[in-house]
Structure 1
């Protein structure tokens, strides 16, 4: 009798185990199907909003090679912008992709390559070789101007460009500098350190303040940053994944002082000419000559304007450094992208007591990531900001704006107007320097030497 009880219990336990495993499998399949459906919904939404075309460098996933393991999904540091749909990886939020390349590294099937542009949407880029030298011998481009964003990309490119320039100085007798670097951002800093390491005579000039684009970020803006590998300093790791603008600039200032780098602020690059083996560089502080020139000035130095009368008024600005300077004001922010939406977020915080209006040209946000959209929409529900879709500024006056919203012209009280309409890419200027511009249609990134 006792034996029968043991057998019954054993069988019951075995059956319960089978039932549990089956139930777990069913639950897992349902969760997977749920995630796939959510990913498909996001992709369809991106297509409907015409936000399915990546703006810059991005992964291209070959569905015939993808094994559906999800390694790329887990590796992406920008959140859930890659998802599995029908067991294949899909870039469901292309406009949020900034070209980290972590997905490509993580893929065990070699199904991902990083590309510029798409088959239908070309991307204009200056022609550069694997050492970041343009078709003009001795003239280099590093960082965002070359089509690849991210601080770590700019650091790597600045380092490689300067190292190659320092090893190939050639002639150019009588030049003031071996290497002249334009821009004191991440590319310029890395290039300066590489030149200092190579013990060549160099100078880095910056039209504004040390830090370049990073300096112009709003106060306490979080910069997503991985370890950075600088010449002289080696690899620098951070104790946390999210590093603020101030923390990053503090580190860079330390590197600058530690290596006694040759840098000049408030020195604007105007033009250059190559005469023989020497570049004659026109700046706001006079003509400078160099054997090699590295352009690491980014693409945000010339903001796109509204081209309206009175736009030169001091109330109109194109960046936001310190939100705390604006309190109890009527503020309008133009721009439906990440920069405009983030500025509105900073300016509408309760402690500032501002009246903030976010003016979006179209019926929805333009190339703004989902996280920023969710935050600003939540702020609107709380009454902290007013989002005005289908809205443009028609007239700028001292204490108000005339805006057109859904075809109706309205008067909006206004103390400050922030314009985030993107930047004018300096391709015409680069062409005037002799640099060739190519249009890429889904062309893979070439490995750097």
Structure 2
């Protein structure tokens, strides 16, 4: 079995950037991705626009040409998948990594389809795979959606949107404009300050005029087939008619996978232990890249500020194993 210089887990933008950096430095590498190329972006809402401008999403100095100031999901898919094709990136798709273990100086990587060995492993799996559950009765009902794609299925429906982040606000506005009767249940006292600056006034004005109902300092306590029960800011229990619940309460990294790989997780937010200058974890030669570095603090890292991880990781590997 060939022993790779680097095996990269996750074919998102940062995983691709790590691959391009490895290729540029003549390191043997392979990406293992459980879905399609940039799988998380593929599952974003169809009409989502990035907070970052196009140049902040570029990898390996390859220009990202966008027709709008803020590129959307489809443009990003074209950009990253186009790079993968034209740069002939070594990537295995629809293959899930099951276990990473280390024997002496070599990692053994078992997947759903095969097994590999590598001197170094980079985990760049993001955080979009596991919904942050509310853990309340009725959350498993089919009408409860933890992912939002487009507004059309919710026309003329009574929709409850849980949360006040970008995804929740986008869902509330889009479904409202397609004829849904929208109620937002928000645990905090206001719309999140992190909401895109050009969207925040829109949602605040729709709430102020009553077009979208919003209950602040509130939380759902139970979901039923035809209704939702929630506790308002005064502690009173309310029940409202309901057809669909969009529980957009955020997502989490696969902490079990990180633990099973030997990575230490620290504090209430389960922040993985790594060296900030090299991205190497407490397991020698095992690295983290991208948003997975933030633990439950998923707002800390995004494409724009984690593109540098690829150069940091490969640079550290080259220092230990210089090449001509």
TM-score by length of 1: 0.53
Paired position in structure 2 for 1:266: 94
Q: Could you tell me how far apart the structure 1 residues matched to 2:139 and 2:207 are?
A: 28
Q: Could you tell me how far apart the structure 2 residues matched to 1:265 and 1:367 are?
A: 37
Q: Could you tell me how far apart the structure 2 residues matched to 1:285 and 1:413 are?
A: 46
Alignment partner of 1:204 is 2:31: yes
Indicate which of 173, 179, 183 corresponds to 1:357. Answer: 183
Paired position in structure 2 for 1:308: 136
| 1:336-387, Cα deviation, whole Å (9 max, x unpaired) | 22332222122211xx211111110133234444544321121234543211
From the CA coordinates, give the structure whose radius of gyration is larger: 1
Q: Could you tell me how far apart the structure 2 residues matched to 1:319 and 1:268 are?
A: 21
Give the superposition deviation at 1:331. 1.3
Alignment partner of 1:343 is 2:171: yes
Alignment partner of 1:327 is 2:155: yes
Give the superposition deviation at 1:236. 4.0
Higher helix share: 1
Q: Could you tell me how far apart the structure 1 residues matched to 2:199 and 2:58 are?
A: 30
Give the superposition deviation at 1:410. 2.1
| 1:378-420, Cα deviation, whole Å (9 max, x unpaired) | 1234543211112211112222222222322222222221122
Alignment partner of 1:402 is 2:192: no
- Call closer, same or farther: CA 1:209–1:326 in 2, change over 3 Å: farther
- Call closer, same or farther: CA 1:402–1:246 in 2, change over 3 Å: same
| 1:205-263, Cα deviation, whole Å (9 max, x unpaired) | 223432233223211211222425544x7444545431111111112222222233333
- Call closer, same or farther: CA 1:343–1:207 in 2, change over 3 Å: farther
- Call closer, same or farther: CA 1:362–1:434 in 2, change over 3 Å: same
- Call closer, same or farther: CA 1:326–1:282 in 2, change over 3 Å: farther
Count the aligned residue pairs.
269
Q: Could you tell me how far apart the structure 2 residues matched to 1:265 and 1:311 are?
A: 31
Maintained 8 Å contact 2:155/2:179: yes
| 1:47-79, Cα deviation, whole Å (9 max, x unpaired) | xxxxxxxxxxxxxxxxxxxxxxxxxxxxxxxxx
Indicate which of 178, 190, 204 corresponds to 1:377. Answer: 204
Maintained 8 Å contact 1:404/1:410: yes
Give the superposition deviation at 1:334. 0.8
Task: Find the residue that maps to 1:341 and give its secondary structure.
Answer: helix
Q: Could you tell me how far apart the structure 1 residues matched to 2:2 and 2:252 are?
A: 32
Q: Could you tell me how far apart the structure 2 residues matched to 1:191 and 1:264 are?
A: 15
Maintained 8 Å contact 2:64/2:79: no
Alignment partner of 1:318 is 2:183: no
- Matches for 1:38-437 after TM superposition, within 5 Å: 174-175=1-2, 177-198=4-25, 200-223=27-50, 224-227=52-55, 230-231=59-60, 234-238=62-66, 240-349=68-177, 352-369=178-195, 371-406=198-233, 407-426=235-254, 429-436=257-264
> Structure 2: where are the runs of 5+ without partners?
278-307, 316-324
Task: Flag the structure with more relative contact order, 1 or 2, with Cα contacts below 8 A and sequence separation at least 6.
Answer: 2
- Call closer, same or farther: CA 1:379–1:419 in 2, change over 3 Å: same
Give the superposition deviation at 1:204. 1.8
Maintained 8 Å contact 2:137/2:221: no
Give the superposition deviation at 1:182. 1.3
- Call closer, same or farther: CA 1:396–1:241 in 2, change over 3 Å: same
Maintained 8 Å contact 1:192/1:261: yes
Maintained 8 Å contact 2:172/2:184: yes
- Call closer, same or farther: CA 1:314–1:176 in 2, change over 3 Å: farther
Maintained 8 Å contact 1:180/1:203: yes
Query: CA RMSD of the aligned region, Å?
Result: 2.9
TM-score by length of 2: 0.71
